[in-house]
Copies of this chain bind each other. A is one copy, B any other.
């Protein structure tokens, strides 16, 4: 019996525990490396248990990537605040910290999605879509950016800007501080929107 099977947990709690272990893999490995075999080796969980909860290698792989994407959407949820810049700044600080903490997995997720891995692309595009929609609509507070065809191009492009700048910074900060980076990626959006007037 492994440590994981000794504790009395409901099936749902057990599955959750296994997903959490999968997320630890995501933090430090490329998504190609997230597998039942790897988790079984690194966390001492039996392959049989993983198959029981996730059905297949593919099922486990998808569940971990989906959870990683859900976590990203959740941690970057903007706080309730009337000032759109305050909301954006908090959201991007959380994004930068997420990428720092999950660099290997996140970088490989962005690359796989861009490279046309259809499984990963679907998960990534949904998460990206949720974050983009959130930029336009924040219930109960003033409209920050009007939703038009050209502002959709701006926000989609700005997301690509943020991804590129933050991943490049993670690979070589070159003396730029986390605070300077967060300020840069936050201020870029209103700066680009203002050029449309």
Contacts and interface: CB of A to CB of B under 8 A. Distances in A.
A49 to B, nearest CB: 32
A115, A168, A194 — which one has the most chain B CB atoms within 10 A of its CB? A115
B153 A184 contact: yes
Interface string A160-173: 11111100110001
| Total identical chains | 2
A48 interface: no
Interface stretch (A7-15, A73-81, A185-193): A185-193
A152 to B, nearest CB: 7
Contacts of A173: 149
A42 interface: no
Contact of A115 (B116, B150, B163, B184): B116
Contacts of A163: 160
Task: Please classify the interface of chain A as helix (H, G, I), strand (E, B), loop, or mixed, using the class held by over half of its residues.
Answer: helix
Interface stretch (A52-60, A88-96, A137-145, A175-183): A175-183
Interface string A90-114: 0000000000000000000011101
Given A111-B114, A188-B191, 20 more contacts: A110-B114, A114-B114, A114-B115, A115-B116, A149-B174, A149-B175, A150-B180, A153-B165, A153-B169, A153-B181, A153-B184, A156-B168, A157-B162, A157-B165, A157-B168, A160-B164, A184-B192, A188-B192, A191-B191, A192-B192
CB-CB nearest 8 A-B residue pairs: A115-B115, A114-B114, A157-B165, A160-B164, A149-B174, A187-B195, A157-B161, A161-B161
